[in-house]
Every structure is written in C-alpha cells, then in structure tokens.
Amino acid sequence: MSGGLCGSSPPPGVRRAAIRAWAIVLFCCVCLAWLVPDGADATPRGGIASTGGWGGPPSESTADHTKFEELEGPFPDGPSVTEACLHCHTNAAKQLHDTTHWTWHYDNERSGQMDLGKRNVVNNFCISIESNWPRCTSCHIGYGWEDDSFDFTSETAVDCLVCHDTTGTYHKVPTEAGRPDPAIDLVEVARNVGPTSRENCGACHFNGGGEDGVKHGDLDTSLNEPDFALDVHMDAEGLNFSCATCHTTGGHEVTGSRYAPNALDRVGIDYPGHTDDTRATCESCHGLEPHPDNSKLNDHTDRVACQTCHIPEYARGERLTKVGWDWSTAGRLDEDGSPITIRDERGYILYTSKKGDFAWASNMTPEYRWFNGIVEYVRMGETIDPSGTVTINTPSGDVDDPDARIWPFKVMRSRQPYDVGHSVLALPHVFGKDDTSFWNNFDWPKALEAGMAAQPIRFSGDYDFVETETYWPITHMVAPKEDAVGCNECHTKGGRLGALTGFYMPGRDTYPWLTLIGWSLAGLTLLGTIVHGLVRLIATLRRRAG
Amino acid sequence: MPRNKKELVMVFSRFERFWHWSQAILIIAMMVTGFEVNGAYQWLGYEQAAQWHRFAAWFLIGLWVFVIVWHAITGEWKQYIPTRRGIMAVAKYYTAGILDPSVPHPYRKTRMAKHNPLQRLAYLAFNVLISPVIWISGLLYMFYNDWYRTGLDGPVGLGDVALVHTAAAFAMLIFFVGHVYLAAFAGKPFYAYLKAMITGYDLLYINPEADGDRKS
Ligand code: HEM
C-alpha cells in the first residue's frame, strides 16, 4: 500500500496545546449551555400585564348608568328593564336575536347537519328540552320561553341583565322560564350594569346540567375566583381574564361555540383588522410556534391541540363533575311511596328517584380523540342501533384528516330510555306539575308518550334503556406549564394516547417482528462470541497444562 | 531489512484514536438511548432518552464529517478497499488457528495495510452500509415535521423511517458485539488490539519500500 501523507505522530508543540485547550473550553461551554434548565428564565409567571380592562369595573366606562333617568324605575318585571335599555341601545335586541344565545338553534354548514343547537339536540343528562321548557329555559337569555309558542321576535323579551349585572344579586328562578326572582331590586341592578364577568357567564355555563360543574367538567364555580394553578389565564390575582377576553364579541355575537369549534387554527396570532377577530383559540394569542425554546414541542402543534397537553386533567377545581347517569333505576320509591334521595358524605347525589344513579369524578384524565371541529349528532327521531353504545355526538376526524388534531374530551356515559318500537332515543317529559311528567308521576310510558307527542316520531308504546355517550371537548382550566402533560405520558406503551391507532408514535409503537429478529440476532452474536472465547480459553489452558 | 521482522510502529495516530474512542462513546450512547426510545427498557424515560439521542446525533454527525475529510485528505480511506487475497486464510484462522497460540495470524499487517481482508469487509460494511443508513434515516426521523417542504410526505411515513432506522440500529448493535469481542479479546495476547488502539503502537511487519519512513 502506498499513498497518504501523514499519519505519524505530530511533534508536540505549544500551539497545538493551545488549540486543544481552547477546544476543551469551547466544548465545556456548549455542555454548560445545554445543562441550564428551561425554566431558568427570569419572566414572572403569567408574564403579560393584567388586562383588567376586559372584566374591569364599570367606572372605566364613559357612561355612568346611575345618572340615567330611564333607569330610575320602577321596574315591575324584566321586560320593563329591557325597554329602558333599548331606549339608548336601540339595536341591541335585534343583534341578540341573531345569536345562538337567543335562538338555541344552529345549522352546521360545514357538516351539513341542520337543526342543531340546544333547542333541538338530545343529550344524556336531562335528555331533551322539548316539553320541559320552563326548567331548561331558566338559562335562556330571555324572559318567558314557556313552550313552543314563545315569540322570538319580541325585543323586550331579551334579558340584558343576566349578562350585564355587576351587583351579583340578579338571578333567574330555576323553574320560571327565564324570569328573575321577584325579590330582586331591578332598579339597583339596572343602574349598575357593566361588561360581562366570569360570574355572569358562569351563572348558566358553570351550571350546565342543572347544577354546579355537572356537565362540562372544565367549567364550574371554582372559576369565579380561580388561582393560578387552576387556570393560568383567569387567575384572580394574576391575569384575571374574563370569559370575554378570549370569547371576543362583536355585535353581541360571542365567538367560540361548541357547535362550531375551531379545532385547528392556522391563522395564528390575531391582528385586529387583518384576521378573523376572534381570540377563542389558544393560537390567536400564542401563535403557531408557542414554545420558544423547545422546537420539538412546536413540532406537535399541527397534530396535537394545545389543550391536550396543557389541561392534564379536568374537574381540577373544587367541584366534582357528573360522569355517569343511569336513568334505568329512576322511579324507585320507599315503603311509603315517597321519592328517595341518597347523597355521599360531601352532599353529591348518588341516587334520586327522579333521575336514577349518578357517578361523579374530579381530577379526571381526559379521553383523547381526533377532532376536526365537526361534531355529528344523533338528532331527534334518527335511528339508533341499541345493541351497542350509542354515541350521541361524535367528534369527526382521524389521523388522515389534515384538519384534525388530537383533542381531550370528557366522555359522559349514561343509560337512558329509547323507543324499542322505532329504535330512536326516547324523549321523556320530565318537568311539570301535570300528571304525565316523570318527576311527578314516576311513570315512564306516560312521560314518554307526553314527551314525544310533539315530535315527528311518536312513542311506540314500548321502551327500554340503552347505553349512550356524549363528548365534551375540554378547553378550560389551563394548568401552569409545569403541570402540562409530559412526553413520557404518551410516548410509552399503554399511555394516554393508547386508544388512538393508525399512526406510528415513537416510544409507543414498534415492529414486534423486527424487535424479535433484532434482539435474537444480537443475542446469537453475543452467544457466538462467548462460545468462541470459551473454546479459546479452554484450548489455551489445556495446552498450558499439557 | 528482513521481511519477517516486526517492529513497534505507530499505527493509530492521535487523531485516529480520538475519533475511534469518541465514536465508540457516542455510538454506545446512541444505542442506549435509541433502544430506550424503542421501548426495550426504561431508564432515562422517553423524553430524556430522545433528547440525548438527538443531541448525541449532532456530535456523531460532526465527528463523521471530520473523519471523512481526514480520510479523504490523508488517503487513509484506501485502508478499507476490499480484497479477496488471503481472505480464506484469515477466515480459517479465526475459526481454527486462533485456538492454538503457536499459530500466527496469517495476515501480514503493515502500516499502510493495517486491516486484514475480513476487517476491511466488516469496516466497509460499517462505513458504507450501516452508518449511512443510520444517518439518513436518523436525519429524516429528526426532521419529520419538515418533510412537507420536500414533497417526500405521502408515500413514506414516519413508521417506515423508524423501521429502517431501527433495523440499522440492530445491525449496528450486532456489529458492535462482534467488534468488541474481536478487538478486545481476539488478539495475541488477547488484549493486543485493544492496547494498540489505546497507545497507538502495534507490532508490525515493516515493508521497507512503502513504509520506510513511517515508523516513529
Ligand atoms: C446520525 C445519527 C443518528 C440520528 C440523526 C438519529 C436520529 C434519531 C431520531 C430523531 C430518533 C427518534 C427519537 C425521537 O423519538 O425523537 C431516533 C430513534 C432511534 N435511534 Fe437514532 N439516530 C442516529 C443514530 C443512531 C444510532 C447510531 C443508533 C444505534 C445504533 C440509533 C438507534 C435508534 C433507535 C433504536 C431508535 C428508536 C427507533 C424507534 O423506536 O422508532 N440511532 N434516532
């Protein structure tokens, strides 16, 4: 062999030693820079200035409502207050008439499903609004939705106060079709209106399902005064966001509906006038690459919703949320024929004759699904397959759908009545002081007959119970970043995303055949070297001895 | 100078020893972290393992760039040109002759031909098969999120890249096991090769025409 120029040991020289020393110093610097922990930045938690203005005191307004003659009253009822408001805010009621807060009706253009919305859909809590109006419409932003004949064009039927009260004294009677408690001083309330606060929205949205925290799992009254650990944005001592800080409004239309969620925001930071003027996604403030010093995490944002990692658990506040409801056991009475209520030691109802058995939970790990923002509903009168679990609202999307990301959900599981004759979800008439309502009579056939009377599909006369589930996207109660879900909770066998298949996830997925062949061959090689070595050893020893 | 005389010669320059041992450390680190990512065991945890794996990968790539340049400039790459001459004798030696201390290695190692035909084949496989496959698949793996910029997205998925990368990693592991055994235990005395890679000096046949001025 020939060729080659060097290869001889270099003569030791001072210059080389210096270069070596520098190289070592440089290497150490690199190592040190690497070792400094990510959290070592000096920004205080919630590094943005508080935006008190959003939910701030009414005094920031240019108008002092206590000075207005129109508001001197007296006000005998809600509509008379509204009339006064409309004197100046002439278009307000018309604006509200166009919102889902008023119509409870939603046509989903994206999915093509029409006639959705709170007024039409079926769920697996109290099942359906139809025929139970006065109870359910206590959370309508109007007065007097007693039944089907409610006049949706009435301007004075709009309830301004439920959203704009700042005194904290205004509330609707739970069973009075949205009318306020007659004991309330409406003049005082009307003279102290202001921007919406967490309490205003929470009066209905924290109490979905009829009680504090029941429905959503990420919304309950702990968010009235949350600390940093419960919600980094609403932290009462910190950023103190109100709901409207993110759920921006324009003309009384509130962004961020559960009927039309934006599951993947490709716009990023929202610039007024340039984009869609909504901050109802995380990206609209945090942008599309929200982790400044971890590009690996930014690599995830196209397929994993922010909420998936940053809301490690739901029902993290003081309240439990309802996770199971068995209607089939409802109607059991004691020896005297009186309804029963059983509570646990904290006061949560475990069984009540009116409703059946409940299951409650807190600090729950969400379930994860691909979700592109479209929810497919099983609407009233649509055929179901009662042999399995009926998913009443299915989040659409899968790994091959570029618009879908992995989202966290609360899954509510129930057993509820269905019409055996027609294979449709049954719609019981539960509320009302009549002789058909279930909560008065505990008679399923009567309640179903009455509940479905006004429906396109009438009760066949034969009913049974079916397992159902509903999906509730989790997006509130954002935890401090230290508490976010770590890599290892998903990138492992049997981790959080175990239910999502059809894609390769490092740390979770392997090719079992490759693992088997690989380790076998490596093991055989090792064995071969050991045998070879032993044979050599023995041969050497023999020769020495012999 | 008689052809059968052996002399203590510097065969592995300081640079070669440096890259050999840093490569050894890096590859061990990559195997340890890589196979943890692959789920073989739990030690650092996925996050740390993946992070150190990606970190070490950059060092390994940096090292390889240096080494390739060095080989190109010095011509040392020719040490890996495969040859059939004497290959059977070497194979026979490792299966039988090695058992008898009195049987010498049939290969006459010289400064400019320090690898026997089997070594050349093994190192060549390492250099042109295992390493590039691991490099390329590893970089694809690392930049998976940027594939859409290349148009590569679509027919090839992350799973395919992981398959190739893991298969190459197993090939690396098998090479590693065999290499460690042969290099650390198969000399005469058993530690002879290891010692050479540490001190740089080995007993070689001197080929006066080619190597005349290369001993030191
Ligand atoms: C240029 C060198 C290399 C690069 C750029 C590279 C890159 C990567 C990357 C990015 C991953 C995925 C880690 C993650 O989940 O984020 C990975 C996984 C892995 N690497 Fe490497 N690597 C290199 C060399 C090696 C070497 C030398 C070995 C071992 C001999 C190795 C063995 C593995 C294994 C076993 C996995 C797990 C694969 C799986 O389960 O999907 N890699 N590598």
Q: A481: helix, coil or strand?
A: helix
B69 assigned to some structural domain: no
Domain with B197, as residue range(s), is: 6-14+74-210
The two three-digit tokens of residue A391, written as one number = 């998913």
> A353 with A271, same domain?
no
Distance (Å, whole) CA A315 – CA A362: 5
- A290: CA distance to ligand 1 center in Å? 26
B201 assigned to some structural domain: yes
* Owner of token pair 């009307």: A190
Complex ipTM value: 0.90
* Owner of token pair 């007993």: B203
> Residue A32: what pLDDT?
55
Distance (Å, whole) CA A180 – CA A403: 43
Mark which of A443, A468, A489 sits at the end of a domain. A489
> Residue B209: what pLDDT?
53
B66 assigned to some structural domain: no
- Judging contacts by C-beta atoms under 8 Å, the chain A residues touching residue B51 are 296
> A278 with A352, same domain?
no
Residues A302 and A196 sit within 8 Å (Cβ to Cβ): no
The two beta strands, A349-352 and A356-361, are antiparallel
> A282 with A350, same domain?
no
Q: How many residues does chain B have?
A: 216
Closest-CA residue to A183 (of A164, A198, A169): A169
pTM for this entry:
0.87
Quick check: bond before A74 cis, omega within 30? yes
B23 assigned to some structural domain: no
> Which mean pLDDT values do the consecutive 10-residue runs of chain A (546 residues) have?
36 53 56 48 42 48 91 94 96 96 94 92 92 90 92 96 96 92 95 95 94 96 97 96 93 90 90 79 93 90 96 97 97 94 96 97 97 95 95 96 96 97 95 91 94 87 97 97 96 95 95 98 97 90 84
- B185 close to A (CB below 8 A): yes
Percent above pLDDT 70 for chain B: 92
> Residue B213: what pLDDT?
41
- B27: CA distance to ligand 1 center in Å? 10
Distance (Å, whole) CA A47 – CA A363: 27
Domain count for chain B, please give it: 1
For chain B positions 1-40, those within 8 Å of chain A (CB to CB) are 10, 13-14, 37-40
The two beta strands, A321-326 and A253-254, are unpaired
> A481 with A373, same domain?
yes
> A297 with A419, same domain?
no
Ligand 1 atom at shortest distance from the alpha carbon of A507: 40
The two three-digit tokens of residue A298, written as one number = 């930014």
A390 assigned to some structural domain: yes
> A336 with A449, same domain?
yes
Q: Does the distance separating the beta carbons of B55 and A34 come in below 8 Å? A: yes
Distance (Å, whole) CA A372 – CA A375: 8
Closest-CA residue to B82 (of B51, B35, B28, B119): B119
> Residue B113: what pLDDT?
78
The two three-digit tokens of residue A297, written as one number = 């995490």
B174 assigned to some structural domain: yes
pLDDT band for position B122 (cuts 50, 70, 90): confident
User: Helices B46-74 and B131-142 meet at what angle, rounded to 10?
Assistant: 130
Distance of CA B2 to the CA centre of its chain: 33
> A274 with A344, same domain?
no
* Phi and psi, residue B178, nearest 5°: -60, -45
Distance (Å, whole) CA A526 – CA B180: 10
> Residue A4: what pLDDT?
35
Distance (Å, whole) CA A223 – CA B126: 60
The two three-digit tokens of residue B72, written as one number = 């190109």
> A285 with A374, same domain?
no
A349 assigned to some structural domain: yes
User: Helices A512-545 and B158-185 meet at what angle, rounded to 10?
Assistant: 0
- B140 close to A (CB below 8 A): no
* Phi and psi, residue B121, nearest 5°: -60, -45
A135 assigned to some structural domain: no
A532 assigned to some structural domain: no
Q: How many residues does chain A have?
A: 546
Residues A443 and A399 sit within 8 Å (Cβ to Cβ): no
Angle at B61 between CA B57 and CA B63, to 5 degrees: 115
Helices (H), A212-336: 243-246, 283-286, 295-298, 306-310
Q: B113: helix, coil or strand?
A: strand
* Owner of token pair 């029963």: A340
Nearest to B177 among A487, A509, A525 (CB): A525
The two three-digit tokens of residue A345, written as one number = 């030691």
Distance (Å, whole) CA A488 – CA A491: 5
- B182: CA distance to ligand 1 center in Å? 26
Full DSSP string of A422-473: TTEE------SSSSS-HHHH--HHHHHHHHHTTSSS---S-EEEEEEEEEEE
B25 assigned to some structural domain: no
A217 assigned to some structural domain: no
> A339 with A479, same domain?
yes
Residue whose CA lies nearest to ligand 1 atom number 33 = B34
End-to-end CA distance of chain A: 42
The two three-digit tokens of residue A414, written as one number = 């129930």
A78: left (phi over 0), alpha (psi -120 to 50) or beta: alpha
The upper half-sphere exposure of residue A273, i.e. CA atoms within 13 Å in the direction of its Cβ, equals 0
Mark which of A440, A461, A489 sits at the end of a domain. A489
- Judging contacts by C-beta atoms under 8 Å, the chain A residues touching residue B170 are 514, 517-519, 521-522
Residues B181 and A532 sit within 8 Å (Cβ to Cβ): yes
- Judging contacts by C-beta atoms under 8 Å, the chain A residues touching residue B144 are 299
> A375 with A433, same domain?
yes
Ligand 1 atom at shortest distance from the alpha carbon of B144: 10
Distance (Å, whole) CA A17 – CA A502: 56
Nearest to B166 among A299, A514, A525 (CB): A514
B116 assigned to some structural domain: yes
> A471 with A330, same domain?
yes
- A338 close to B (CB below 8 A): no
User: B39 pLDDT exceeds 80?
Assistant: yes
- B60: CA distance to ligand 1 center in Å? 12
End-to-end CA distance of chain B: 16
Distance (Å, whole) CA A134 – CA A150: 11
Amino acid type, A333: L
> Residue B121: what pLDDT?
86
Q: Does the distance separating the beta carbons of B167 and A518 come in below 8 Å? A: yes
Domain count for chain A, please give it: 2
* pLDDT, tens digit (0-9, with 9 covering 90-100), for B154-208: 678 899 999 999 999 999 999 999 999 999 888 778 888 899 899 988 887 776 5
Distance (Å, whole) CA A169 – CA A178: 15
Distance (Å, whole) CA A36 – CA A508: 29
> A269 with A358, same domain?
no
A393 assigned to some structural domain: yes
* pLDDT, tens digit (0-9, with 9 covering 90-100), for A130-165: 888 888 999 999 999 998 899 999 999 999 999 999
The upper half-sphere exposure of residue A182, i.e. CA atoms within 13 Å in the direction of its Cβ, equals 2
- A10 close to B (CB below 8 A): yes
Distance (Å, whole) CA A221 – CA B89: 84
The two beta strands, A424-425 and A405-419, are antiparallel
Q: Is the dihedral of CA B18, B19, B24, B25 positive or negative?
A: positive
Q: Determine the distance in angstroms separating the CA of B145 from the nearest CA of chain A, rounded to an integer.
A: 6
B39 assigned to some structural domain: no
> Residue A324: which H helix or E strand, with range?
strand A321-326
Residues A366 and A390 sit within 8 Å (Cβ to Cβ): no
Distance of CA B5 to the CA centre of its chain: 29
Q: Read off the DSSP letter of residue A23.
A: H
The burial class, CB within 10 Å (0-12 / 13-18 / 19+), for A502 is exposed
Domain with A343, as residue range(s), is: 321-489
Residues A178 and A157 sit within 8 Å (Cβ to Cβ): no
